[in-house]
Structure 1
Amino acid sequence: MTSAAGSPNGPGQEDTTPAAHAAHVEKTLLQARELIESTVSLYRRRPDQSPPAPHTDVTALGEAVEQLVVGARHSVCIAITGTGAFEQIAREALTAMPVGTVVRVLCAPGVADCALAKLAHAPGARYEIRVSEADLRDIVISDGAAALVRAASGNAKGQATLVNDRAAVRALELLFAGAWSLGRKLDDHLALSPRLLGELTRIILERLRSGSTDEAAARDLNMSLRTYRRHVAEIMRELGASSRFQAGVRAVELGLLFD
């Protein structure tokens, strides 16, 4: 992160505020997008090179994921965006990770459960699991050298492609890292009440962060002032916050808000 004379941490010191962190993450994601786009352009200028073969069959997809996992020596990154064939394949692969491998799992809220939480205490690999609501694709990245990416929503169902180009894999790593930095720890996610994961909570937290008065926020949400303040008090209690400012900080830490 860059520092400035006006930084809240003082001249010459690194700005570690949530806003500065978010700006750094956004910059990283934009750089990753540019890298992906440049890689795609490079491939388009090389028509003589055959594109990687897609894997649409569940068996072939499972074999491809297994090959990446078994061959890993240092690290494996996996993003699971929903339920289905890839989720089952990824869960099976997670139980067979090489000893000593650092495994980072990023999953959508609908996939997060206690079964994944048990992996953190499993012997062998070192598991780190976070939950993210970011718009990701199903991904497996092995040692930063090879990856498997599922097709974006709307494309052929179940289609996935093996990627061996170092620049393309690096871009995927950057995208994963950006989403990872904003994700909440699985244990924190499982401890959250359904209220905190609701849309109304997110809207109220946004109003608190923007500095809206209770009267204005209640009017915008078409509820009485008393009802709005009751919601705020309940949210603060769920977050274990003693002030509205602390509630905002805690919400960012848990990935309920992106600053």
Structure 2
Amino acid sequence: MESTVVKHRDRQSRNSWVSAITAEEAEILAAAQELVYEAGESVDVVLAAEAAHARTIYSALDEWLESGGLSVKIRMLCAQNTLDWSFVQRHSGNGRPLEVRAARIPLLAALIVDGKAALVCADSAVGRRASAIRDPGVIETLQTLFDGIWRNALQVTERIDFGDRARTDMVRPILEWLRLGVTDEVAARELSVSVRTYRRYVAEIMALLGANSRFQAGVRAAELGLLPVSPPQEPPQPRR
């Protein structure tokens, strides 16, 4: 009986470490602000949820950083549609401790502070849900997942600029063909340029993206949102 009572108390204690929050933006914002102001060493951020959740987290981080939260190491994982370039430009560089990477990650918005507390916002079968978490076991799992994705994510330093509109329109199909593995000869024919000129374009694009291979350039372009989300068209075929 004593053993049962102890287990029950432990279960109640663990449950108290996970607090449900309404999906209202105001309450999520308040919880995010409270959490980041507790940070003493690190804040890890995941932003791959719908726009409303992402805006709320960005707002909390913006206010905190503007008020002096610059001594805390911040790592931010974003999906291609939640990457806020204006936020990155405001708070990165000049020795500021913000590092941003892009990756394909599940729909989720989360803050992990000092590896001890977290705020998680996600959609479920019964609607939007948000939770404040202080359970060490859950936090450890979240931190492990974050670190695993972070190691393979693409570092973001600045917006990729290919020049004027005409040049950008030309770069997009090249990126798509790189991802699909289209041969230089076929791609050059589609662009109506020489193979030598096409290869020069490819070399410039790979340098801008920091890619070591053509396939990696295509993947990085997709992660940064430089390619459309819709399914790619069939690659051009060589003439017979």
Q: Considering the TM-score relative to the shorter chain, is it more than 0.5?
A: yes
Alpha-carbon distance in structure 2 between the residues aligned to 1:183 and 1:196: 26
Partners of 1:63 and 1:122 in 2: CA distance = 29
Is the counterpart of residue 161 in structure 1 residue 124 in structure 2? no
Counterpart in 1 of 2:179?
Answer: 205
CA-atom RMSD in angstroms: 4.1
**Alpha-carbon separation, structure 2, partners of 1:129 and 1:192:** 18
TM-score (norm 1): 0.60
Residue-by-residue CA offset, 1:71-103 (whole Å, 9 max, x unaligned):
011000111125533222222222314341001
1:141: which partner in 2? 112
Which residue pairs with 1:131 in the alignment? 102
Does the 8 Å contact 1:236/1:247 carry over to 2? no
Q: Which runs of 5+ in 2 are unaligned?
A: 1-10, 163-167, 224-240
Q: Which residue of 2 aligns with 1:109?
A: 80
Verify: 1:247 aligned to 2:216, yes or no.
no
Amino acid at match of 1:204: L
Letter in 2 for 1:93: A
For 1:60 and 1:69, the matched residues in 2 are separated by: 14
Count of aligned pairs = 198
Higher strand share: 2
Q: Which residue of 1 aligns with 2:228?
A: none
Match of 1:226 in 2: 189
Asked whether the 8 Å contact 1:183–1:255 carries over to 2, the reply is: no
Partner residue of 1:120? 92
Aligned residue for 2:101, secondary structure, equals strand
**2:30 aligned with 1:58:** no
More divergent stretch after superposition (168-177 vs 114-123) = 114-123
Inter-CA distance 250–72: structure 2 relative to 1 (3 Å threshold): same
Which structure is larger by alpha-carbon Rg, 1 or 2?
Answer: 2
Q: State the AA in 2 paired with 1:127.
A: L
Counterpart Cα distance in 1 of 2:76 and 2:135: 22
1:185-228 residue CA offsets vs partner (Å, 9 max, x unmatched)? 2225x1155679968735633537xxxxx39x96xxxxx88338
| Structure 2 partner of 1:171 | 141
1:183 matches 2:150: no
Structure 2 CA distance for partners of 1:80 and 1:195, relative to 1, 3 Å? farther
2: CA distance, partners of 1:102 / 1:236? 34
Instruction: Give a deviation string over 1:9-29, Cα, whole Å, max 9, x none.
Output: xxxxxxxxxxxxxxxxxxxxx
* Shift, 1:235, TM fit: 3.4
What is the rounded CA distance, in whole Å, between the counterparts of 2:149 and 2:126 in structure 1?
A: 22
Asked if the contact 1:132/1:255 (under 8 Å) is kept, the reply is no
* Alignment partners' CA distance in 2, 1:122 and 1:55: 38
SS in 1 for 2:127: coil
State percent identity of aligned pairs: 19
Any idea what SS the aligned residue of 1:53 has? strand
Residue 205 (structure 2) pairs with residue 238 (structure 1):
yes
SS across alignment from 1:52: strand
Superposition map of 1:44-55 within 5 A: 49=15, 52-55=19-22
